[in-house]
A and B are shown apart, each in its own frame.
Chain A
Amino acid sequence: MKQFFVFIKKEFRHIFRDTWTVIILLVLPILMLVLFGYALSTDVKNTEIAVIDPSRDAATEKIISLLDLSDYFNVSLTVESPDQIEDVFRGDNPGLILVFSENFYEEIMHTGEASIQLIADGTDPNTAVTIYNYATAIIMSYQQELLRVQSFPYEINITPRYLYNPEMKSSYNFVPGVMGMIIMLVCAMMTSISIAREKETGTMEIILVSPMKPIVIILSKVVPYFFLSCVNLATILLLAVFLLDVPIAGSLFTLVILSFIYIFVSLAIGLLISSIANSQIVALLISGMALMMPVMYLSGMMFPVENMPLPLQFASHILPAKWYIAAAKKVMIKGLGFSSIVKEMLVLSIMAVVLISVSLKKFKTRLE
C-alpha cells in the first residue's frame, strides 16, 4: 500500500514540476471552454443593420423597431436606393441589409403577401446563416402578432423552432462537447504519455524489475489522472453554469455518474495506447490523431451526426465520446432523466469493461 501512495506522490510531482503539463491539464480546459463559449460561438450580438424602406408604413416601421429592440441587431443606417447596396457593404459593412418591397403594408393587407429581402455578407457563411435565421425569427414573430390581431388567414411558410435552446445559444452545445474532449485528452493522452516517458527514460525497466505488482503500477499511473479529470469536470461545470449561463437542467448526480463511466473508458484507452507506444512522441501522435481528431469531427461536437454521410455516422458509433456527448446533452440541456440515457450508459459501460480488461491483459510485465 505504501508503494502505491509513494508512486502517486511521485506522479503528482512529475505533473506539477512540468509547466507545460500543468498548462495542458489545468489551463487548457478553461481556455477551451471560454474559447468555444465566446470566441468561436456563432451567437450574434449587436449586428449592424442597414434598411431600404421605400414604403415607410406602419408595418415596416414596426418590423424595424422590433429588430432594433432585440439584443441581436442595431438598425444604424437607412439607404435610399437598392443601387447603393454594394457601396454600403464596402463602406459601412453592416451585417445585414433589409430591403422592403414598395407598399409593404398595403400588400399584406390586400394580397396577404409581401416581401422582404435579407442581404447578408456571404464571406462568412456560418455567421450569415445565423444572422439570417435570427432576423427571420423576429420578422415571423411580427407576422404572428398580425395574425392574432387580424381576422383573415395568413399562410406562414417557415417557423424556426428552437425547442431546447430558445435563445439559440451555441455554448449550450459546446459545453458537453468540450467535456467529452477534455476528459479524453487528460485521461487517454496524459496517461499514455506518462507511461511512455518512463519507457523512454529507462525508469520503467527498473520499476518492472521491482517487486511492485503490475496492477499496482497501472493503478498508480491511472489514479492521478482520474483525480485530475474530476477536477476538470468540476471546473468545466462551474464555468458553464456561472460564466456561460448554461444551466444544468437535469440531475447533477446522473451527469457525474455518466462522466465517471466515460473517464474509465478514456483511462483504459490511454493504457492501451501506452502498451503500443514506446516513446512519448508516438503516444502523442496516436492519442492526437486517433482520438482527438475523430472526437472533434465525428462525435457530434461540431457537426451534427445526423448530417454526416452514412459511413461516417457508422464510424461515430464506435467513438465513446459520441455516446458521452449525446447523453450529456440530454441530461444537461434537455433535463431528461436517467431512463432516457440508459442506452448510452449501457454502451459506455460495455466499452469500459471491454477496454479495461483488454488493457490490463495487454500491459506487459516484460519489455516485449
Chain B
Amino acid sequence: MKKQLLAVLFLLFSASFLFGQSLSGIKIYINPGHGGYTSNDRHILETDYWESEGNLTRGLFLRDILQKLGATVIMSRVTNTEDDDIQPTSYIAARANTYNPDYFHSIHSNATGTSTRVNYTLLLFQGTTTSPTYPLAKTMAGYIGNEILGAHRTTTRDIAGDFTFYNSTGPYLGVFVGLKMPGTLSESSFHDYIPESWRLRNQAYLKHEAWAIAKAFLAYWGKPPLTTGIIAGILRDPDLGVSYTSLTLQDAKKPVNSIKVTLKPADALNTMEPVVYEGDNLNNGFFMFDELTPGQYKLYYEAPGYFRDSSTVTVQASKNTFADKDLLSTVPPFVVSVSPASGDSIYPGKEDIVISFSRAMNKASVESAISVSPKAPLTFTWSSEKNLTVATAGLPFMTDFTLTIGAGAQEKSHGLSLDGNKDGVSGDIYTCSFRTRLQDLSAPVLETVYPSDNMENVEPMPLINISFNEQINTSTASGRIKLVRNSDQKVLALKANYLPVDGQKSVFCFFPVDTLMENESYSLIISSGIEDLYKNPTSSEKVYTFKTGSKLPTMVYIDKFESGFTANWVSPLTYSSGITSAGTNFASSSIYRFYGSSSSMLINYSWKKSASSWLLREPLIGGAPKNVTFSNSGILQAYIFGDGSNNKFRFCVADGSDFKGLEVSPWYTINWIGWRLLSWDMQREGTGTWDGNTSSNGILDGQLKFDSFQLSYIPGNPESGFICLDNLRAAKDSYMGVEEGDEDLRPSNYSLAQNYPNPFNPSTTLSYKLPEKSFVSLKVFDLLGREVATLVNSEQGAGSYKVEFNASNIPSGIYLYMLRTDNFQETKKMVLLK
C-alpha cells in the first residue's frame, strides 16, 4: 500500500513538474471506433478482445493526457454500450462538426478478416493519398503512424487516403464524410494477430499508444516535445513457444504472466522511492512506466516460477526506451524429444540421434554425461544450445542400444541439473533404447512406370511417371532417364520433378518439352546406375516402348487450382461418410504442385475402419469454375498425384434440368505414386453407379457442370493418405459455341454481353458474338481509362466467344471492358468486389 501510494505521488510529482499547457486553446475531438458488444464490434474469441473496448480505453487515456497538456477534448463516447455504437457513420462527423473542433481523430485497431497474419500500423485520412481532402491530415497521419510504430513496434507503418486505400468506388470511411476539420483514423495494429491481441488487452499497452498519439499532436502543432520519457517492455520465457502464429522471433516466445517490475533510480543517492508495476495474466508480459524524468534507472523483474533478473536503462525525454527481458524458468531442464524415439530404429551413418532439451544447456556437461550401451564412440554437434546431434557412423548395424544422459547434464544459466524423468525435480538420468537397422545392400526397385511397356494411344503430351520403392540419390538419375523417338533415335528434352512420398517411396514426373508426334513410337530408357541413398545402384537397363495416339480435343479449364481456389470448394467433411474428421481436410498445396503451376488441391483422407461404407465427397460449390459447362460426350480430365494406396477415386458431374442430377464416373484405383493424367471418356466409358443416390439415373443428360471429386476406401488398403489434384478440365466440344464456318449457328449481329457473374471475385466470363470474321480487341480498363488487361487481340471468325477474366491481381472497383472490331465497338461495366 505504501509503495502504491509512493508510486502515485511520484507520478503526480512528475506530472506537475513535466506538464506544461502547450495545447491550451486547442479543441480535439476523439472518436473511439465502434461501441458495444455486438457483431460489428470486432471480437477475437481466442483472447476475448473487443475492439470497441480497446478503442475506448485508448481514447480515455488519450483524453486524460491531452487534457493535462491543456487541450479541450471532446469524446464521442465514454462508455462501451450498444447505445454508443453510432450508426450511420455520417452522424459521427455531423456531431463532431457541432463542437467546432480543430482536429478529429478516430481510434481503431485492424484485422485482416482472413487467415493471413500481419501486424502493421495504418493511418487513413480522407481523399486520395496524393490529393487528400485536408493536406494537413496527411501530415498528421505521418506523425501518428511513426509514433505508434515506435510504441507498438509493429512491422511497418503505412499512411493512405481512404479513397486510394479502399478504391475510389468505396467502401470508404464514414467518419470522414462531411467532416469540417482535418481528421485521421488510426488502425494501430492487428487485433487478429494473436500476440498483439493479447497485448491490446493490457491497459498499460493501450496507454502507451495514447502517449504516442499525444506526442503526434504536439509535433503536428509545433509544440515542444514532452520533457518526460517512457520505459516499456515485454517479459518472455525463451524456452517456451506459443501455439499461435508469430511473425517475429520475439513473439514466438511465450510471454510471462503475473509479472512484477520494480523501477528505481540507478543513482544510489537518489532518494526516489521504488515504483512497482504489477502485470496481468493475459499472456502479454507487457509493462510500462510513463512520465519519467530523463536519467538512468534500474529495473528488477520478478514472476512466479522464474529467476529474478534486472537491467539498467536510460530514459530520454519524449522517447520510448524498451527493456524487454527473457526470464529464465526455475523448472529444471528435461529432454523434450529424442530421435529415434524409444524402440525405434536408425540407419548408422545415415540417420543421426537428435536430442532436444527444454533449456539452453551447458554443452560440456551434456557431452560428458551422454553414453550408449553397448559402448560405442559418439561425436557431438550442437545446432543450437538446446539441440544436440549425435553422429552414428561409428555404431554397428543390427544392434540394440541404450542411450543414457546422466544427471550431470546441466542447463547453462543457473546450473540446474537434468530432470530425466520430468517430474519437476533435478538430478535424475534420462534413458531410451533404439536399434540399428540391417545394412541396405539392395538396389532401388522400379515399381510403376507410365506409359507402360507396349502401351498404345498415349496422349502426345504424356506425363511420364516413374516410381521407386525407396528414395533416390537424384544426382545419379541425371542422364540415366531418356525419352527417345524410335524412328530417328532422337533424344527428347524432358522437364523433371522429383518427389519423395511418405518418407519412403519416391517418384519422378517428366513432361516432354515439346509435344510428341501423333501415332509415333517412343521408348523410355531407364539406364542402370541409379542409386538409392545408401549408394546401391540399379544394375540393369529398362526400356518401355509406347505409341502415341491422336491429339486430344481442345480443352476448357474448369479449375487450375491456383491462388484463392479454396473459396470455391467446400470442406470434404461436409458431405462425406465413413471418414474421421481429424484426418480429413483439403487445402492448397505448394509442395505437391503440378509442373508449371504454383499450387494444387491437396485432399488428406482418413477412413473410419469401423464404418460399413466409405465415401469422401469434395464438392465444387461456387465461383467461376461452377459456371463452366461441358458436353456429355467429351472427356473430363484432371492431373492427380496418387499415393499408391489402391483406394478408389472418381469424378462426379451435375446434369439434367438446372443441373440437379448427379452422375459419377467409374471408380479408378489409385495404384500409382506421383502425378498422372486421369481421363474419364464419358461416351466410351459411360457412368458408374452411386448406390442410394436418387439424383443419379446412370445417364448423362445434356450439358454438364462439375460437381465433385470422390474417394472411397477398400478395406485392407492404407486407412489414411492423400491425393493432389490439378488442372481440372473438360473437352471443349460445344462449350465455346460455334466454330468458324458453322453457318447455321452464326450470330446475326455483333454483341457484347454483360459479364457473368457480376459483381465477381476474382474471375468472370465475358461473352461476345461476331457475325463475320474480324480483327477483335477485347480490353479491360479502369475508370481512369488505364488499360488493365488485354484479353483478345487477334483476328477471329464468326461465332460466339467466351473469355475468362481473372482479376486476382487488381484491386476491387468498377472496371470497363471494351470490345472493338472492324465494324463494331461497345463498352460495358463490371464490378470487382473482393
Partners in one complex: no
Listed in ascending order, the chain B residues whose CB lies under 8 Å from chain A are none
